[in-house]
Structure 1
Amino acid sequence: MVRTYWLISYAYFLTISVLYVASLVIFGSVIGLKYFRLNTYSIQFVFYFIYLNLQIALSFLVSSIFSKVKTVTVVAYIIVYGSGLLGSFLFQKMLETQSFPEEWIVALELYPGFSLYRGLYEFSQYASRGSGMKWQDISDSGMGEVLCIMSIEWFLALIIAFYIDQVFSSGKHPFFFLNPSKKSSSIPSKPTVQRMDSKKVSIDMGKIDVSQEREKVQQLRNEGSAGHAILCDNLKKVYPGRDGNPPKMAVRGLYLDVPSGECFGMLGPNGAGKTSFISMMTGLLKPSSGTALVQGLDICKDMNKVYTSMGVCPQHDLLWETLTGREHLLFYGRLKNFKGSALTHAVEESLKSVSLFDGGVGDKPAGNYSGGMKRRLSVAISLIGNPKVVYLDEPSTGLDPASRKNLWDVIQRAKQNTAIILTTHSMEEAEFLCDRLGIFVDGALQCIGNSKELKSRYGGSYVFTMTTSSEHEEDVERLVSTVSPNAKKVYHLAGTQKFELPKNEVRIAEVFRAVEKAKSNFTVFAWGLADTTLEDVFIKVAKSAQAFISLS
Structure 2
Amino acid sequence: MRWGDLNNSTNGMKEVLIIMFVEWILVLFFAYYLDQVFTSGSGKSPFFFLKGFQKKPLSSFGKPSLGKQGSKVFIQMDKHDVSQEREKVEQLLLEPTINQAIICDNLKKVYPGRDGNPDKLAVRGLSLALPNGECFGMLGPNGAGKTSFINMMIGLTKPTAGTAFVQGLDIRTHMNGIYTSMGVCPQHDLLWETLTGREHLLFYGRLKNLKGSALTQAVEESLKSVNLFHGGVDDKQAGKYSGGMKRRLSVAISLIGDPRVVYMDEPSTGLDPASRNNLWNVVKHAKRDRAIILTTHSMEEAEVLCDRLGIFVDGSLQCIGNPKELKARYGGTYVFTMTTTMDHEKDVEAMVQQLYPAAKKVYHISGTQKFELPKEEVQIASVFRAVETAKRNFTVSAWGLADTTLEDVFIKVARDAQAFETLS
Q: What TM-score bracket applies, with the shorter chain setting the length?
A: 0.7 to 0.9
Amino acid at match of 1:99: D
Give yes or no for the alignment of 1:441 onto 2:313.
yes
Question: Within the alignment, does 1:203 sit opposite 2:76 as a pair?
Answer: yes
CA gap of 1:433–1:101, structure 2 versus 1, over 3 A, is: farther
Q: Partner of 2:352 in structure 1?
A: 480
Matching residue of 2:255? 383
Alignment partner, residue 218 of structure 1 = 90
Residue 548 (structure 1) aligns with: 420
Q: Distance in 1 between matches of 2:72 and 2:218?
A: 52
Cα shift at 1:202 = 6.1
Displacement of 1:337: 1.0
CA distance in 2, matches of 1:200, 1:354: 41
Provide the residue aligned with 1:180 in structure 2: none
Q: CA deviation at 1:226?
A: 4.3
Is the Cα contact below 8 Å between 1:260 and 1:419 reproduced in 2? yes
Deviations 1:5-62 (A, max 9, x none): xxxxxxxxxxxxxxxxxxxxxxxxxxxxxxxxxxxxxxxxxxxxxxxxxxxxxxxxxx
Matched, 1:284 2:153: no
For residues 192 and 242 of structure 1, the distance between their equivalents in structure 2, rounded to whole angstroms, comes to: 28
Residue 230 of structure 2 is aligned to residue 358 of structure 1: yes
> Which of residues 514, 534, 541 in structure 1 aligns to 2:386?
514
Is the CA contact 2:185–2:254 (under 8 Å) kept in the aligned structure 1? yes
How many residue pairs were aligned?
373
Cα distance in 2 between the residues matched to 1:443 and 1:201:
13
Supply the AA of the counterpart residue of 1:541. Answer: V
Query: Does residue 99 of structure 1 match 2:99?
Result: no
What is residue 45 of structure 2 aligned with on the other side? Answer: none
Q: Is the 8 A contact 1:294 1:306 kept in 2?
A: yes
RMSD: 2.1
1:199 Cα offset (Å): 7.0
Contact kept in structure 2, 1:265 and 1:424, CA below 8 Å: yes
Contact 1:347/1:384, CA 8 A, preserved across alignment: yes
Task: Give the secondary structure class of the aligned counterpart of 1:265.
Answer: strand
2:268 equivalent among 385, 393, 396: 396
How is 1:21-420 mapped onto 2 (pairs within 5 angstroms)? 99=5, 193=62, 203-205=76-78, 207-420=79-292
Greater helix share, structure number: 1
Q: For 2:245, what is the secondary structure of its paired residue? A: helix
Which is richer in strand?
A: 2
| 8 A Cα contact 1:484 1:501, kept in partner | yes
Give the Å deviation of 1:471: 2.1
* Larger displacement relative to structure 2 (507-516 or 433-442): 507-516
Q: Distance in 1 between matches of 2:386 and 2:407?
A: 28
Question: By how many angstroms is 1:468 displaced?
Answer: 1.5
Residue 475 (structure 1) shift: 0.8
1:429 corresponds to: 301
Instruction: Summarize deviations over 1:146-199 as a string: whole Å, max 9, x none.
Output: xxxxxxxxxxxxxxxxxxxxxxxxxxxxxxxxxxxxxxxxxxxxx964599997
How much has 1:320 moved relative to structure 2? 0.8
Change (3 A) 1:319 1:532: same
Paired with 2:329 and 2:62, the residues of 1 have a C-alpha distance of: 31
Counterparts of 2:167 and 2:318 in 1: how far apart (Å)?
26
The one of the two structures with greater contact order (alpha-carbon pairs below 8 A, sep at least 6) is 2
Residue type at the aligned position of 1:277: F
- Measured at CA, do residues 492 and 233 of structure 1 come closer, stay the same or move farther in structure 2, by a change above 3 Å? same
Structure 2 vs 1, CA of residues 100 and 200 (structure 1 numbering), >3 Å: closer, same or farther?
A: closer
Higher Cα radius of gyration: 1
Matched, 1:468 2:340: yes
Note the alpha carbon deviations across 1:460-519, whole angstroms, 9 max, x for none. Answer: 110001111222111111111232221111111222111110111111111111001101
How far apart in 2 are the matches of 1:101 and 1:507?
A: 105
Tell me the distance in 2 between the aligned counterparts of 1:426 and 1:203.
Answer: 28
Distance 1:515-1:303 versus aligned 2 partners, 3 A rule: same
- Is this contact kept in 1: 2:64–2:161, CA < 8 A? no
- Percent of counterpart pairs with the same letter? 74
**Residues 146 and 312 of structure 2 are in contact (CA less than 8 Å); yes or no, is this contact kept in structure 1?**
yes
Gaps of 5+ in 2: 19-59
**Contact persistence 1:266–1:424 (CA under 8 A):** yes
CA contact (8 A) 1:204 1:210 kept: no
Structure 2 equivalent of residue 12 of structure 1: none
* CA deviation map 1:363-415 (0-9, x unaligned): 11111111111100000000001100000000000000000000000000000
Q: Would the alpha carbon gap of residues 481 and 370 (structure 1) be closer, same or farther in structure 2, given more than 3 Å must change?
A: same
1:199, 1:277 → 2: CA distance?
19
CA-CA distance at 1:98 after TM superposition = 5.9
**282-291 vs 193-202, greater mean Cα deviation:** 193-202
Match of 2:32 in 1: none
Between the aligned partners of 1:416 and 1:294, the Cα distance in structure 2 is: 18
Per the TM alignment, residue 200 of structure 1 is displaced from its structure 2 partner at its CA by 5.0
Q: Which runs of 5+ in 1 are unaligned?
A: 1-93, 109-190
Work out whether residues 63 and 161 of structure 2, in 8 Å CA contact, stay in contact via their aligned partners in 1. no
> In structure 2, what is the Cα distance between the partners aligned to 1:395 and 1:198?
34
Structure 1 stretches of 4+ with a deviation exceeding 6 A read 195-199
**What is residue 56 of structure 2 aligned with on the other side?**
none
SS in 1 for 2:288: helix
CA contact (8 A) 1:250 1:443 kept: yes
One-letter amino acid of the structure 2 residue matched with residue 548 of structure 1: F
Which residue is equivalent to 1:178? Answer: none
TM-score, normalization: structure 2?
0.84
